[in-house]
Amino acid sequence: MSATVCRILLVGFMGSGKSSVGRVLAAALGWRFIDADQTLEDDLDTPIAALFQEHGEAFFREKERTTMAALLDEEGVVIATGGGWAAQPQWVDGLPPGTGTVWLQVTAVEAVGRVQAEPGKRPLLDSDEPVDTARKLVESRSPSYALAEWKVDTEGRSVEDVSARILEMFSGNDLILDAE
């Protein structure tokens, strides 16, 4: 049985490709793309790394929660969540009907390799052993990410391949293609 999907939510660890895949996927669907982290930074006029440093992770998570609550009211959108937002076990409880969820899976080694080009932008990986830190975070967050309806392994796959795979997964659903 197919369901009507009016928004797609991409979850997964930092560096899994949520933003890159989200842009391509939204373009293919004729939808808008929203990067939740960028929206939060724009709303607060402060980079996430500075929010962590100045106010701590708890403050950041609360701002992230309220930002996501507002974004989930949107239709005809692909939303790339922050890597930690879906790490909360209750994240699926507040999803409105019509939300399709996809976990973009990535290994710790691959994730660190992908985000190393952005030093200082990933405060949770600012350590002497970023791969070990990432491995622990991926391990602890995976049960929450696994609550997503679909999973796509991004390891060694191009953004276009991952996007095409997601479109295939949603092919049995009624996608609202003219939502504004």
Least Cα distance to 35 among 73, 83, 2 occurs for 83
Q: What is the pLDDT of residue 129?
A: 81
Secondary structure class of 7 (helix, strand, coil): strand
Packed helices 108-115 and 130-145: angle between N→C axes, nearest 10 degrees? 120
Q: What amino acid occupies position 114?
A: R
Is the CB of residue 40 less than 8 Å from the CB of residue 63?
A: yes
Tell me if the pTM is above 0.85: yes
Adjacent-strand bridge partners of 151: 103
Secondary structure class of 177 (helix, strand, coil): coil
Alpha-carbon 1 to chain mean position? 26
Mean per-residue pLDDT pooled into runs of 10, the chain (180 residues): 80 93 96 96 90 88 91 96 86 90 93 70 63 89 93 94 92 56
Please give the structure tokens belonging to residue 167.
Answer: 């479109």
Q: What is the pLDDT of residue 32?
A: 97
The contacts of residue 180 (CB under 8 Å, 6+ apart) are 76
Residue written as tokens 């092919």? 171
Least Cα distance to 13 among 71, 84, 65 occurs for 84
CA count, 13 A, side-chain hemisphere, 32: 11
**Which residue segments constitute the domains of the chain, with CATH numbers given?**
18-174 (3.40.50.300)
Q: What is the pLDDT of residue 35?
A: 96
DSSP state of 101: E
Q: What is the pLDDT of residue 120?
A: 54
Element (H, E) at 78: strand 77-80
